Amino acid sequence: MRIFILLLAFFGLVGCEDQRSEGTGAKTNVYLDQARQGEPIDQLKLGVMYERGDGVVQDYKQAIYWYRKAAEQGNADAQFHLGFMIAKGRGVDKNFIEAAKWYRKAAEQGHVKSQNNLGIMYEEGEGVAQDYTQSVYWYRKAAEQGYAKSQDKLGFMYLFGKGVPQFDTQAFYWFRKAAEQGYASGQNNLGYMYALGKGVSKNDTEAAYWYRKSAEGGDVVGQSNIGHMYYAGLGVPQDDTKAAYWFKKGAEQGGVSAQGNLGVMYYQGRSVPQNYAKALYWYRKAAERGDASSQNNIGVLYEEGKGVPQDDKQALYWYRKAAAQGHKVAQSSIDRIINMSQ
């Protein structure tokens, strides 16, 4: 779960390769012999090899076959892999109900990834009736075993009161648990808690610290958020160059907030040459994924004729998209254009 602030390798000798291939082939034969005799661990290993194409030609149907053999004998890892393959539709038709069945079998044996994934299915209502209480139950099972993804998700449930009473202190507790394990989303969310003073005293320096950790871990929302901190000089010295750097990092990975914010940098010409065409490019990327601020900003470009021919109809089109999401500035712009045309 993510929370954000919107601002604006070939090495080796041929002989070695042949040796490795022979070794892998022998290993496959051993697993195959044992798997055929009903050994669940070897059935699981064979399934993994077929799923990854490790020493054998990748074959999802064969992976499913061997995972199922082991899963039916109660192997929790195989049950997890089988559920995952079925949920993704790999080697078999996608079937969330069947996936949930196998996740549950593994989850009841304490398998943390299955507990987490079953929690997701309850939260999203996939394969099971949507049930936030059950979602929290399974997230907590995995979180208490130290699984960072579930700790982050449990924090999110507390933050928004989904399946539990809304409780900022508990949200902060679980985000910190995930963050301290190096989980980038948890680090971003912990930064958010510090930035807003939710469940902890407001502290921009701590917020920036955790946003940076998240950003360095590749989290696109964390990249946008540390960019915002540099843009505004919150918890760090104001630095447009670093702001643009992080916005670009996030934008190129598909981060909606980062795309919109990078558009702002190009529009304003802050640490990058002012370029309305590039501003429009990044605004459009974010706007097409529903970002109201970017939809509004495209409207501004059309109304002002910057980077595009001046066009009030196009301006109104984008303002209305933003206003439909509650963007008050966009609504004011609609009223202004309509009043001027009367």
Helix, strand, coil shares of the chain, percent, nearest 5, are 70, 0, 30
* Domain count for the chain: 2
Tell me, what's the pLDDT at 278? 98
Does any domain span residue 261? no
Q: pLDDT tens digits for the chain (342 residues)?
A: 444 443 433 223 222 333 334 455 666 777 777 878 888 999 999 999 999 999 899 999 999 999 999 999 999 999 999 999 999 999 999 999 999 999 999 999 999 999 999 999 999 999 999 999 999 999 999 999 999 999 999 999 999 999 999 999 999 999 999 999 999 999 999 999 999 999 999 999 999 999 999 999 999 999 999 999 999 999 999 999 999 999 999 999 999 999 999 999 999 999 999 999 999 999 999 999 999 999 999 999 999 999 999 999 999 999 999 999 999 999 999 999 999 887
Final residue belonging to a domain, choices 114, 145, 176: 145
Quick one: which of 304, 310, 303, 262 has its CA closest to 283? 262
Domain residue limits at 90: 34-145
Identity of the amino acid at 112: V
Q: Are 210 and 241 in contact (CB under 8 A)?
A: no
| pTM for this entry | 0.87
Residue 205 burial (10 A CB sphere; 0-12, 13-18, 19+): exposed
Under DSSP, is residue 199 helix (H, G, I), strand (E, B) or coil?
A: coil
Q: Phi, psi at residue 145, to the nearest 5°?
A: -95, 5
CA 116 vs CA 6, 48, 123, 145: distances in Å: 28, 20, 11, 11
The contacts of residue 28 (CB under 8 Å, 6+ apart) are 46, 49, 55, 56
Does any domain span residue 28? no
Does any domain span residue 52? yes
Final residue belonging to a domain, choices 85, 111, 145: 145
Does any domain span residue 49? yes
Does any domain span residue 27? no
Tell me, what's the pLDDT at 44? 96
Tell me, what's the pLDDT at 313? 97
Tell me, what's the pLDDT at 27? 66
- The CATH code of the domain that includes 335 is 1.25.40
CA 41 vs CA 17, 53, 55, 157, 203: distances in Å: 27, 18, 17, 36, 50
Tell me, what's the pLDDT at 26? 61
Does any domain span residue 272? no
Final residue belonging to a domain, choices 126, 145, 164: 145
- The CATH code of the domain that includes 65 is 1.25.40.10
Does any domain span residue 86? yes
Does any domain span residue 187? no
